[in-house]
Structures are given as C-alpha cells and as structure tokens.
Amino acid sequence: MPRKLVNGAELYYETHGDGEPLVMIMGLSANLDWWTPEFLEELEKQYKTILFDNRDAGRSDNVEKKYQIEDLAKDTIKLMDQLNIDRAHILGISMGGMIAQEIALNYPERVNKLILASTNCGNPKSILPSGKVLNMLMKDREGRSNEEIIDEFISLLFADDFIDENPRFIEKTKRRMMRTPIEPDAYKRQLNAILKFKTGRRLKGLNIPTLVIHGKEDILLPPENGEIIADLIPDANLKLFEGAGHSLFSHVPKKTSKTIINFLENHNN
C-alpha cells in the first residue's frame, strides 16, 4: 500500500490518471473508498487525481492526540511535498472542504483553483442542521456496531428519496464504507476539529478562482452554507443541485464532474 510519512503519521494515498494534479480531500470519518467511481472516472480522464485518507481515517495512521483543521491542511501540503507537487487544484467535500479552505488561506501559492463541496465556513457564519441531525452526528460511537453506525450515517449523507430509489447503490456504498471504518476515538478527534473550525470573514481575502457546489437536499450541512461561502469569497461561482443530499458526488456524479471540469477548463486565473 502506498503511504507517505507526513507530520508524524503515515498517510495512505492513491494517484490515478494524467494531467494537471487535482488533490481530493474527503470528509468526517471518510476515506478514499467513499469516492463514487462514476464521479472519479470522468475526472481521471483529464487530471491526475490524488486521493488520500486523512489522519485517523481509513488506512492512514491513528494519531491519538488532538488536532485542528489547520493541522489536516498541513498534512495535505506535506503530502503534496512528498509527491513533488508544487501546485494543484484542490477539491474538498464536507470536512474536506474545510481543510481545503485552510489550505487556500494559508498556502495560496500552492493552489491553482479551489472547489468546495457540501461544506461550511464554521461559526459564527454557518447554518446548523436540525437538532435531530446534530444529535445523530454527536452520538457516542463506543460500543455500537459498525453496521448500526453506517446505517445511521447513510441517512445523513443521502436524501430519503435517493435511498428509496437506489437500493443497490446504497448497498454497494455500505460495503465500501465497511472496508475500513473509523475508530470511535478517531471519530471524536475529527469531530472536535470540525467544532473548532472557522474561516468566516477570512475568506473575503481569498484571491483564488473558486467553485462552490452544494446539494439542495443536504440535511447535514444545509445548502445555505454554500451560499454564504460563495458570498464571502470574491468572484466565487455557486452551483446548487436539485434533489442532491450531502453526498453530492454520489447523487449526481456525472453532473458534478462535468461542472468541475468546465470550471477547471474555462475559468480564467
């Protein structure tokens, strides 16, 4: 398995395709197995995609110490260093979008273009989900089965209609999620990093071409969060997708990959 030592932890990574580098950052508890193949295949035809598991997730090391989103941004930059990537397009979804924001703010010289999906900018600007969703997200995972946890998480990631209409896809997704589930203590560390995260007004100083995309049926990070980010970042492009929940690239893989490719190809620096 390809791994690189980054800030004291070995991170698992994969690269696919050729062309300009596109670094893709996953969200809370997720790993690179969670990327939807139908979404990836279009990107890999035109770009060199760099996928990796954040610390505490997937096949990367558990770190057993607290950290912040800025630390995960440093991990990404160090991984780019290890792979001899000076500049790249940066794409992040959910917590990965938070990491991507910190990369753009702290290492702007390393970013060509920025894609922020299904994410927010932290307190005090962000719009919270319902109390029910928050309780599910914050629930202690200790002593619960991975099957139970993943079934519950699926209900947060996907719109109800999508779950009902795509049972085979949901089963495949569950199997991918079950390959290397996150440990309860690691989940807490990632969640605590999210709770401390905030970029807010700092985003007004960004001078990087940015695409913000969000599903209109996202119950985990409501779509108003995408609108807020797009308003804060100068000249950001905003695209909302009908019928799509938090796991945006699974709901509409072809539409989102096409939107991203069009942005990367046609938006002037």
pTM: 0.97
pLDDT above 90 (res 124): no
Q: pLDDT digit string (tens) for 208-246?
A: 999 999 999 999 999 999 999 999 999 999 999 999 999
Under 8 Å between Cβ of 269 and 112: yes
Under 8 Å between Cβ of 181 and 150: yes
pLDDT of the residue at 267: 60
Q: pLDDT digit string (tens) for 157-197?
A: 999 999 999 999 999 999 999 999 999 999 999 999 999 99
Q: What is the CATH number of domain 3-266?
A: 3.40.50.1820
Q: Which residues of 52-84 are buried (b: 16+ CB within 10 A; e: fewer)?
A: bbbbbbbbbbebeeebebbbbbbbbbbbbeebe
What residue segments make up the domains of the chain, in order of their start? Answer: 3-266
